[in-house]
Amino acid sequence: MTSVVFKKMMRAFGVGGPSVDTVLTNPNTRPGLALDGQVNIVGGDHDVVIEHVALGLVTRVETESGDSEYNSTVEFHRVPVAGSFALAAGERRQIPFSFPIPWETPITDVYGQRLHGMTMGLRTELAVAKAVDKGDLDPIAVHPLPAQERILDAFNRLGFRFKNADLERGRIHGVHQTLPFYQEIEFWPAPQYANGINEVEVTFVTDPHGVDVILEFDKRGGFFVPGQDSYGRFRVDHASVDSTDWTAVVDGWVRQASDRYASFRTSHGYGPGMPGVHPGMHRGRGMGAGGVVAGAAGGLLGGMMLGAAMDDMFDGGDGGDFGDFGE
């Protein structure tokens, strides 16, 4: 009798139970596409009932709480791939899937290089009745859409240096979001803008028709005038990507931000009455408002963008440790 009770207890802890391994056809994807693959399940030393099999996208998100910040693992998209079924001891079962990638999924890789600070994985959950659930995690790489790629490439061509990328919990005022967080891709300023700007943060919020591009410019202060954050929001249609000179567009965005701030400093004052201030433009984490830049330069692309131009922007590492995502 004692032996039977011990075996039941061990089974409840998952000992001798089924195993799961998810195999992706290709771990590389883009927002709006899909990940294809197969979930392989092998029965253990006794029969079990599988309650469900589900896949979920997981990543790390930074949350601000009062004066502190902390990172947490967040599952932000979940898809069931199988319902309840019986699995005999030693039985093998394969479940093919096509997992849709949300349009707002943050990008993790550009031109084959991991954005330092980004991690992303596809987690498999195998729910076993009356036992500890099993899991598997597969790292994935989310590459930019053409509009995102062209804009990042333009920052690089203008001399901006990649600093870091992270995910911030919250929402951006006036922008339709389906996810509870947004990505910030941070750059050190190019020399020609460094007198007026400390850094630039780029956020993409994508949908099937286009991309909202939100730029946050961290301004330099002076002896008598404090620095301010300035925001700009622009809409880019997917269809217009190849008919725009993005280097000229991005240069225009940044120069307008610098020029507005320079004019503000020479006026010897600041406040809600200054031209260009939009008090409603703020991040979900409660930042103050600054001058809103607007406008864009148009034109035809002068040729294909080369991936080699981006090599020095990115950290050469693998982009993070997935150890915290395990079972």
Question: Which pLDDT does position 265 carry in this prediction?
Answer: 55
Which residues in the chain come in under a pLDDT of 50? 1, 3-15, 221-228, 268, 270-327
**Contacts with 6 (C-beta within 8 Å, 6 or more apart), sequence order:** none
C-alpha distances in Å from residue 258, one per residue of 92, 281, 292: 62, 18, 11
Question: Which pLDDT does position 226 carry in this prediction?
Answer: 42
Question: Which pLDDT does position 262 carry in this prediction?
Answer: 58
Question: Which pLDDT does position 16 carry in this prediction?
Answer: 63
What SS3 state is found at 61? Answer: strand
Question: Which pLDDT does position 217 carry in this prediction?
Answer: 84
Question: Which pLDDT does position 104 carry in this prediction?
Answer: 97
Using the 8-state DSSP alphabet, how is residue 172 labeled? B
Question: Which pLDDT does position 255 carry in this prediction?
Answer: 82
Give, in degrees to the nearest 5, the angle at Cα 108 between 310 and 184.
Answer: 90
The secondary structure element, H or E, covering residue 155 is helix 146-157
- Distance in angstroms between the alpha carbons of the first and the last residue of the chain: 31
Question: Which pLDDT does position 124 carry in this prediction?
Answer: 96
